[in-house]
Amino acid sequence: MSVAVLFLSFLVFLFVGFPVAYCLGISSLLYFILENMPLVTFAQRFFSGLDSFTLLCIPGFMLAGNLMNTGGITYQIVRFCDKVIGHIRGGLGLANIGASMIFAGVSGTAAADAASLGGILIPAMVKDGYDADYSVAVTAASSCIGPIIPPSVPMIMAGTLTGISVSKMFVAGIIPGVLMGLGMMAVAWVISVKRNYPKNEKRATFREIIASGREAFWALLMMVIILAGILTGIVTPTEASIIAVLYALFVGFFIYKELSIKSALAVIRDSMVGAAGIMVLVGFANVFAYVLTKEQIPTMIANWILSVTRNKFIILLIINIFLLFVGCFMETIAALTILFPVLLPVVTSIGVSPIQFGVMCVLNLVIGLTTPPVGVCLFITTSIGKISIAQGTRAIIPFLICNFAVLLLVTYFPPVTLWLVGLLYGI
């Protein structure tokens, strides 16, 4: 009875429109009351979910990404990418994807990517003669790279919830992220040639590229510092996030001089609000996970799936379809906190690496950020481009097909995620 109330209340509150964090918290509280469990345990489980050193890097990377946008770093990245590949047909679209790949190495979030790059590039692309729906689609699709290429907030969550090494998760996401970027560039080029989209009148000279690179040097160095520090083990992801914040402040104030005390305080305030929302979600998700574990729900789900089939490929296909479906209706971090610990025992029982599954799970759910009805990145970019969700959805389909192909590679070809991890960590 209590379990039925748990799930039913969660679904009802979710359907009504409550934030996912409150859906998790209220449904778990109802379970505690019906089971006559001490509410002090509820509070203990909530705060134990937040008692993690690794979680500190979430507000750090969020703040660093926001400081990038305000401090002029994002614009320098876009300008540099345009100089390098702007001479190719549809070059501004390709630069959009390239900038997303670079931006991903700092922010770790798709929504920040979509909002910052979209605000700069969508109006610029439309002004240059690109269709609005294409401009929206390429921006929304490429923003999915953000949570795949390290650092990645969803991967931090997955590692924290299950004890998987966050650094190894980061490394595992590099090749899939690069494949996504290159694949979407190929799609963008084909569409650009077909529609005869513009390109820069002349190819940038080596001197012009160097000059642009010199101006973007501080922006690019930020990504190098973060990735190199994490991958070499010199710093932890948490320490890297603090370095990123300090670096962004220094560059924004003293190099590009786009930051002021007033704007920096506003960015810090907005980042605090966003990080607090994620932390509340994590706390309530930990309580919800405790209830599921107590009722042995993960074991029951694992046994049910294995009773249907023991074929590894079919099980992974079922999980992929399920996660893609959930990603269409639920925000990435929320879905990850609920489902990842539940599904992990299933995939490990059939010999799938937790690290591989972590990347697979994140990739599934971030694809959902570009699909209705709850595609946050699609909502952001369509509002910037002033087109309907339906127009944006139709235009993004070729890019979704590309991302699905990468998802299949991650699912059924383990070296895509594990080869680099094995090379660096010897596993």
Which sequence spans correspond to the domains of the chain?
Answer: 38-425
Q: How far, in Å, CA of 406 to CA of 1, rounded?
A: 42
Q: What is the mean pLDDT of residues 50-74?
A: 75
| Residues of the chain above pLDDT 90, percent | 19
Cβ atoms < 10 Å from Cβ of 30: 16
How confident is the model at residue 416, as a pLDDT? 94
For residue 376, report the phi and psi dihedrals to the nearest 5 degrees: -55, -45
Question: Do 130 and 95 contact (CB within 8 A), yes or no?
Answer: no
Q: How far, in Å, CA of 335 to CA of 367, rounded?
A: 13
Cβ atoms < 10 Å from Cβ of 9: 17
Tell me the CA distances in angstroms from 340 to 144, 161, 163, 169, one per residue in order: 19, 8, 12, 14
How confident is the model at residue 302, as a pLDDT? 75
Q: Highest-confidence range of 19-23, 149-153, 246-250, by mean pLDDT?
A: 246-250
Per-residue pLDDT tens over the stretch 272-284:
887 788 788 778 8
Q: Token pair of 378, please?
A: 């699609």
Tell me the CA distances in angstroms from 372 to 143, 153, 378, 404, one per residue in order: 15, 22, 8, 16
Question: Do 36 and 29 contact (CB within 8 A), yes or no?
Answer: no
Q: Token pair of 214, please?
A: 């010199």
How confident is the model at residue 418, as a pLDDT? 93
Q: What is the mean pLDDT of residues 168-179?
A: 91
Q: How far, in Å, CA of 312 to CA of 231, rounded?
A: 31
Q: How far, in Å, CA of 410 to CA of 420, rounded?
A: 13
Per-residue pLDDT tens over the stretch 76-135:
777 788 788 777 888 888 888 888 887 776 665 677 778 777 877 888 888 888 899 999
Per-residue pLDDT tens over the stretch 15-61:
887 877 888 889 989 999 988 888 898 988 888 877 766 677 778 87
The type of residue at 403 is N
Q: What is the largest CA-CA distance in the chain?
A: 73
Cβ atoms < 10 Å from Cβ of 17: 7
Residues in the chain: 427
Per-residue pLDDT tens over the stretch 307-357:
888 888 999 998 998 888 887 767 777 788 778 888 888 888 888 999 999
Q: What is the mean pLDDT of residues 398-419?
A: 94
When the pLDDT of each residue in the chain is averaged and rounded to a whole number, the result is 84
Q: Token pair of 357, please?
A: 């599954």
Question: Do 400 and 366 contact (CB within 8 A), yes or no?
Answer: no
Q: How far, in Å, CA of 301 to CA of 319, rounded?
A: 12
Global pTM reads: 0.81
How confident is the model at residue 123, as a pLDDT? 86
Q: Token pair of 339, please?
A: 């489902």
Q: How far, in Å, CA of 230 to CA of 152, rounded?
A: 12
If 0-12 CB within 10 Å is exposed, 13-18 middle and 19+ buried, where does residue 40 land?
Answer: exposed
Residue 268: name the closest of 254, 249, 282 by CA.
Answer: 249
Residue 146: name the closest of 116, 190, 185, 183 by CA.
Answer: 116
How confident is the model at residue 254, as a pLDDT? 85
How confident is the model at residue 178, as a pLDDT? 92
Q: What is the mean pLDDT of residues 357-374?
A: 85
The lowest-confidence range among 80-84, 243-247, 372-376 is 372-376
How confident is the model at residue 190, as a pLDDT? 93
